[in-house]
């Protein structure tokens, strides 16, 4: 009886299409949230050495070794890459604007190519 129900039905085609869509979406290379790879929190120190008032230092550790790229948003964006894979990160941030909530975008990439991205806000 089941074979008669599906003999003229499009259900098997839909099922195959659904499975294909699930496979494609599960293999997405979209970046994951930054804090899923960071251990704990990101420590932010503005003007850490009292010589660069529009600078900061971001310090954090990661669950896997990562390369890091950062971008400071603004009229003139500042970008910096840290190509060495590491789990302990201490990143100098330059190009901040005075009296502004600065947005720093971090992108971490693991050795297998998985990316994690997120923003840190600095005053």
Q: Which residues of the chain have pLDDT under 70?
A: 1-28
CATH architecture of structural domain 32-122 = Sandwich (2.60)
Question: What digits encode the pLDDT tens for the residues 49-84?
Answer: 999 999 999 999 999 999 999 999 999 999 999 999
Determine contact, residues 93/123, Cβ cutoff 8 Å. Answer: no
Q: What predicted TM-score, i.e. pTM, was given to this entire model?
A: 0.76
Q: Which residues of 56-87 are buried (b: 16+ CB within 10 A; e: fewer)?
A: bbbebebeeebbbbbbbeeeeeeeeebeeeee
- The span from the CA of 24 to the CA of 66, in Å, is 25
């Amino acid at each position: 009886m089941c074979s008669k129900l599906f003999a003229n039905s499009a259900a098997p085609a839909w099922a195959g299409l659904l499975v294909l869509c699930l496979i494609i979406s599960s293999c997405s290379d979209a970046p994951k949230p930054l804090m899923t790879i960071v251990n704990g929190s990101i420590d932010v120190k503005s003007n850490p050495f009292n010589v660069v008032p529009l600078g900061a230092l971001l310090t954090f550790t990661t669950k896997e070794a990562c390369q890091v790229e950062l971008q400071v948003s603004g009229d003139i964006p500042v970008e910096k890459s840290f190509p060495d894979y590491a789990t302990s990160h201490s990143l100098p941030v330059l190009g901040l604007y005075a009296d502004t909530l600065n947005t720093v975008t971090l992108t971490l990439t693991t050795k297998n190519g998985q990316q994690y991205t997120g923003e840190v806000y600095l005053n």
